[in-house]
Amino acid sequence: MTSQLIDGFGRVHRDLRISVTDRCNFRCTYCMPQEGMKWQPREDLLTFEEIERVATILVQRFGIKAIRLTGGEPTVRANLAVLVAKLAALNVDLAMTTNGVTLPLLAPSLRQAGLRRINISLDSLQPDRFHEITRRDELTRVLEGIHSAVQAGFAPVKINVVVIKGFNDDEIVDFAHFGREFGVVVRFIEFMPLDADEDWSNDKVLTQAEILAELSHTFELQPLDRTSAPASRWRYADGGGEIGVVASVSQSFCDSCDRVRITADGQFRNCLFATEETDVRALLRQAASDDEIAAALQRSVSAKWAGHSINKVHFIRPVRSMSEIGG
């Protein structure tokens, strides 16, 4: 019988993020420290079968409705379409976040395996700036990946843009034009304190209000109803699509958050900013029963905080960076 993952504040959790690897084919400046990452040994990562088992427990016992594959960069995991097919069989809304560089090769096979939606991280449309961010000269390849995702039938294709004040905030309108021209949804994301070099400060955050003010000089926007999704959304009054803003810093949406996460090394997190984890990998490899695993997952969610408390004196920064947690 299906129950629900409910925390102590009555929030029901139906959205699961699974990091399938901590590795990446980019070295983005705010994801990885300058000296590079120390990757997890291959044997420490969950196998496809272990991921499938935990996902099945969460779907069948707790009514999880959506699963998103993340990384690192998920497409560097060999035979990813095999995992996609396993999870697609659970009849959930199956999506993936990627940097897009391998999509020209993989988009058709991932779509055929059952992947429904795709988010592509892209923080600049300027070649020199893109290279500065990623330490790779792959902008053309990412743009080809976006086109490949659209051609493969993913709908919607969303572009995730982390906006950093004084760095790429001059590209907001350019990204809006890009989304309208190519039929993709652009989501602007406030810069969060999860960068690997711990260089985050509030004065680098371009807020939702500032993003909308910049867009309003060029476009007329109409608000759309808020859902449990992380982005607030607006449509263009002329019918040219929509944009979203993930305002994790300036307008916390913790009260409607319904997401839980599993890291590539099998740690269950009840919040992106959680400071404690539940070792699901250990349970799996110690022959724990489904009942024992389910009970551990519910205990974790029951202990979830009311909110992350960014910008408050008692905020505690997670030990792991975004690339280690998964988006």
Per-residue model confidence (pLDDT) at position 71: 87
Name the packing angle between helices 290-302 and 48-62 (round to 10°): 70
Per-residue model confidence (pLDDT) at position 313: 43
**Maximum distance among all alpha carbons in the chain?**
59
Domain count, the chain: 1
Torsion angle of the four alpha carbons 155, 85, 281, 265, in this order, in degrees rounded to the nearest 10:
-50
Place of tokens 């396993």: 86
263-313 pLDDT per residue, tens: 999 999 998 777 789 999 999 999 999 999 999 999 999 998 776 555 554
224-266 pLDDT per residue, tens: 998 878 889 999 999 999 999 998 888 776 777 889 999 999 9
| Residue 28, φ and ψ in degrees, nearest 5 | -60, 140
Domain that holds residue 233: 5-325
Neighbours of 267 (CB within 10 A): 22
* Count of all residues that appear for the chain in the document: 327
134-178 pLDDT per residue, tens: 889 999 999 999 999 999 999 999 999 999 999 999 999 999 999
Per-residue model confidence (pLDDT) at position 263: 94
pTM over 0.95: no
Give the Cα separation of 183 and 180 in Å (integer): 5
SS3 assignment, position 42 = helix
Give the Cα separation of 325 and 193 in Å (integer): 13
CATH number of domain containing 82: 3.20.20.70
Lowest mean pLDDT among 1-5, 203-207, 281-285: 1-5
- In this prediction, residues 26-46 reach a mean pLDDT of 71
